């Protein structure tokens, strides 16, 4: 089977969404990319998670043309393709309609950084996209969703904040691997939930200081990280 390890990682990343209650029925999709092989592996469209196996994962080229697999890829594939094309450092993309992150996307509000949980993963507020125009919706809608994301943020921003809220739709997250993209989707939902409660308690709540924000992000990311067992420090 072509790209067996990538298929397995992508399957596992999709199931991570299920384990954390981020998806209902066949909602959501995670993909991974093998840049050397010029291949993307993505969840099939509309297949139940319970019966999903590595061979159901669809393999496409970097334009999203199916190269291997008997199933249709997720209908959001063109969005993933666009993200891989613009953000050279990412290795996985995760899309969910998770409850609170989607509520922020529907309210078209960026998620401010109200605390260190957010700062540990996202180096700045989680932004929203502009709305698509009627023309962008009418033709190549899914690709244009990716275009709107890449209009809102550049590669450097994509590395600092691996998530965005597509206005009136839902979040897209990414990371160095499919597994990390799914992980970031789980964290985003948790952060979105706590930020929602924070605003309810204090409608004028302000973001934490840049000092605290930097401290928390940098103790987990980059050359000075000292969290966990695997850092190189």
Residues labelled catalytic: 120, 227
Does 107 engage in binding with its own copies (CB under 8 A)? yes
Does 170 engage in binding with its own copies (CB under 8 A)? yes
For its own copies, the closer of residues 128 and 153 by Cβ is 128
Does 197 engage in binding with its own copies (CB under 8 A)? yes
Which range touches its own copies (CB under 8 A), out of 60-68, 87-95, 171-179, 219-227?
Answer: 219-227
- Which tokens hold the place of 41? 């592996």
What is the enclosing helix (H) or strand (E) of 78? helix 77-86
User: Minimum CB separation from its own copies for residue 8, in Å?
Assistant: 19
- Which tokens hold the place of 174? 């990414």
User: Minimum CB separation from its own copies for residue 123, in Å?
Assistant: 15
What is the enclosing helix (H) or strand (E) of 171? strand 171-175
Asked if residue 3 lies in contact with residue 37, where contact means CB atoms within 8 angstroms, the answer is yes
Note the helical H segments in 128-227. 134-138, 141-152, 155-160, 178-201, 210-220
Give the integer Cα–Cα distance in Å for 163 and 16.
17
User: Minimum CB separation from its own copies for residue 35, in Å?
Assistant: 27
Does 97 engage in binding with its own copies (CB under 8 A)? yes
**Which residues lie below 8 Å from residue 220, measured CB to CB, with a gap of 6+?**
120, 121, 227, 228
Which range touches its own copies (CB under 8 A), out of 7-15, 35-43, 78-86, 111-119?
Answer: 111-119
For its own copies, the closer of residues 18 and 103 by Cβ is 103
Does 209 engage in binding with its own copies (CB under 8 A)? yes
Which range touches its own copies (CB under 8 A), out of 6-14, 35-43, 77-85, 109-117?
Answer: 109-117
Asked if residue 171 lies in contact with residue 186, where contact means CB atoms within 8 angstroms, the answer is no
**Footprint (CB under 8 A) of its own copies, residues 117-146:** 117, 131-132, 134, 137-138, 141
For the purposes of burial, counting CB atoms within 10 Å of the CB of 90, is it exposed (0-12), middle (13-18) or buried (19 or more)? buried
Which range touches its own copies (CB under 8 A), out of 61-69, 82-90, 146-154, 166-174?
Answer: 166-174
Supply φ then ψ for residue 215, to 5 degrees.
-55, -50
- Residue length of the chain: 233
Does 183 engage in binding with its own copies (CB under 8 A)? yes
Give the integer Cα–Cα distance in Å for 135 and 112.
31
Give the interface with its own copies as residue ranges (CB under 8 A). Answer: 24-27, 44-47, 71-72, 75, 97, 99-100, 102-109, 114-117, 131-132, 134, 137-138, 141, 168-170, 183, 186-187, 190, 193-202, 205, 208-209, 211-212, 215, 219, 226-230
């Amino acid at each position: 089977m072509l790209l067996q390890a990538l298929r397995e990682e992508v399957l596992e990343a999709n199931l991570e969404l299920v384990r954390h209650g981020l998806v209902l029925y066949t909602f959501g999709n995670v993909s991974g990319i093998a840049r050397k092989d010029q291949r993307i592996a993505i969840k099939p469209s509309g297949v139940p998670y319970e019966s999903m196996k590595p061979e159901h994962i669809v393999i496409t080229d970097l334009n999203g043309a199916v190269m291997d697999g008997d199933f249709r890829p997720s209908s959001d594939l063109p969005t993933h393709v666009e993200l891989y094309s613009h953000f050279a450092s990412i290795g996985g993309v995760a899309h969910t309609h998770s409850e609170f992150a989607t509520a922020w996307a529907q309210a078209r509000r960026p998620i401010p950084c109200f605390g260190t949980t957010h700062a540990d993963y996202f180096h700045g507020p989680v932004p929203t996209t502009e709305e698509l125009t009627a023309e962008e919706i009418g033709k190549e809608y899914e690709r244009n969703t990716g275009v709107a994301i890449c209009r809102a943020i550049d590669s450097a921003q994509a590395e600092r904040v691996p998530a965005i809220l597509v206005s009136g739709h839902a979040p897209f997250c990414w990371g160095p691997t499919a597994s990390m993209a799914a992980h970031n989707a789980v964290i985003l939902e948790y952060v979105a939930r706590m930020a929602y409660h924070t605003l309810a308690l204090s409608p004028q709540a302000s973001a934490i200081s840049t000092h605290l924000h930097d401290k928390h992000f940098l103790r987990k990311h980059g050359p000075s990280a000292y969290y966990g067992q695997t850092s190189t420090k």
